[in-house]
């Protein structure tokens, strides 16, 4: 018969602090282990190692039960009132920069009709697997797992779905097996439709980041997105001004094809934090097209995203304190 004292010591060595109970009944040994914070692969490995250890110590029948507390995740919605403002690029780089800052970040591409994150994150053509109808996010080389409708349909296939189907797709992505991720960045589609309403009502984001270009036309729609979150009681973390200022590669002169300062002025008028500017830089465009988000590197293009992530991370840590004060 296995020695319970030795088994207890061996299990504690294998999984420090995770042994909740151990019972030896003849050659049958049952153990309950706390798997909180472990990914699905980590849980499977822990279960296999524990069974092997019990067998090694004489158990004729080894029973291992894993329990875990639900991981408390903070959800950041990246939104805009209109398309074409670079929202997906901001979402991808923010997720990577937050991960580099120490958070365990997952990225959901909820832009059901125009998913672009597989290309931005360099995982085109890689499909997620599933376990008991639960999607398992695709790992990326940037440490940020991803789920996107773009991983489930052909790249050139139109997604012509009515609102309920799109909302159902969002649920599949949001309820994927996110393992130990403590932060989810959600790239929402433009506008204020069914996907946004489902996200707000069912998953209650911790806060929203609004992306706009400086021009008045984009700001009109950005205000609509802000109004949606405000009426729903979702805090707006702040506004990002994207495509702000273009440096001529030949002479270095700065020009403003989309205007300048509009988002900052709107933030001030609305009493919201201004989170900073992302320049209109060809290096950001080429890196994004190549699936190499600037935030993953050390070049000058990474600086704006790292600064943005710092403000957002501090806002999350401080429970909603004004991000513009950081």
Q: What percent of the chain has pLDDT over 90?
A: 44
Q: Which residues are CB-neighbours of 193 under 8 A, at least 6 positions away?
A: 163
Q: Are 276 and 304 in contact (CB under 8 A)?
A: yes
CA 138 from centre of chain: 12
Max mean pLDDT among 99-108, 159-168, 221-230, 296-305 falls in 99-108
Q: Options 3.90.950.20, 3.20.10.10, 3.40.50.300, 3.30.450.20; which CATH number does 74-325 get?
A: 3.40.50.300
Higher pLDDT, 83 or 280: 280
Query: pLDDT class for 98, splitting at 50, 70, 90?
Result: very high
For 4-67, which CATH superfamily applies?
Fe-S cluster assembly (FSCA) (3.30.300.130)
> What pLDDT, on the 0 to 100 scale, is given for residue 324?
46
Q: What is the mean pLDDT of residues 224-241?
A: 93
Q: Which of 5-9, 148-152, 264-268, 293-297 has the highest mean pLDDT?
A: 293-297
| pTM exceeds 0.85 | no
Res. 325: pLDDT tops 50: no
pLDDT in tens, 276-317: 999 888 888 899 999 999 999 988 889 999 999 999 999 999
Which regions of the chain carry the CATH code 3.30.300.130? Answer: 4-67
Asked whether residue 259 carries a pLDDT value surpassing 70, the answer given is no
Coil/strand/helix, residue 68: coil
Contact 128, 137 (CB under 8 A): yes
- What are the start and end residues of each CATH 3.40.50.300 domain in the chain? 74-325
- Is 90 exceeded by the pLDDT of residue 193? no
* Residue given tokens 């989810």 in the structure block: 184
């Amino acid at each position: 018969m296995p020695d319970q004292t030795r088994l207890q010591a061996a299990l504690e060595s294998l999984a420090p602090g995770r042994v909740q109970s151990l019972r030896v009944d003849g050659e049958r040994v049952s153990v309950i282990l706390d798997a909180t914070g472990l990914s699905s692969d980590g849980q499977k490995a822990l279960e296999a190692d524990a069974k092997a250890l019990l067998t090694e110590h004489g158990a004729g029948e080894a029973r291992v039960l894993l329990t875990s507390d639900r991981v408390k995740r903070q959800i950041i919605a990246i939104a805009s009132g209109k398309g074409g403002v670079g929202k997906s690029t901001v979402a991808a780089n923010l997720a990577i920069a937050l991960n580099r800052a120490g958070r365990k970040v997952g990225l959901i591409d909820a832009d059901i009709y125009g998913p672009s994150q597989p290309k931005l994150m360099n995982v085109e053509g890689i499909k997620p697997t599933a376990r008991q109808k639960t999607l398992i996010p695709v790992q990326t080389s940037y440490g940020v797992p991803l789920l996107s409708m773009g991983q489930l349909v052909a790249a050139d296939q139109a997604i012509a779905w009515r609102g309920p189907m799109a909302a159902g797709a969002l649920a599949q992505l949001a309820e994927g097996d996110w393992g130990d991720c403590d932060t989810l960045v959600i790239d929402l589609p433009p506008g204020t439709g069914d996907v946004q309403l489902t996200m707000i009502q069912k998953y209650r984001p911790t806060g929203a980041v609004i992306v706009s270009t400086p021009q008045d036309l984009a700001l009109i729609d950005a205000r609509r997105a802000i109004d949606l979150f405000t009426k729903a009681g979702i805090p707006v973390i702040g506004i990002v001004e994207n495509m702000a200022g273009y440096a001529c590669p030949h002479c270095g002169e700065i020009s403003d094809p989309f205007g300048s300062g509009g988002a900052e002025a709107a933030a001030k008028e609305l009493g919201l934090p201004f989170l900073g500017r992302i320049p209109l830089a060809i290096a950001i465009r080429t890196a994004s097209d190549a699936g190499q988000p600037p935030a993953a590197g050390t070049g000058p293009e990474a600086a704006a995203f790292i600064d943005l992530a710092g403000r957002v991370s501090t806002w999350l840590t401080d429970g909603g304190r004004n991000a513009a004060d950081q």
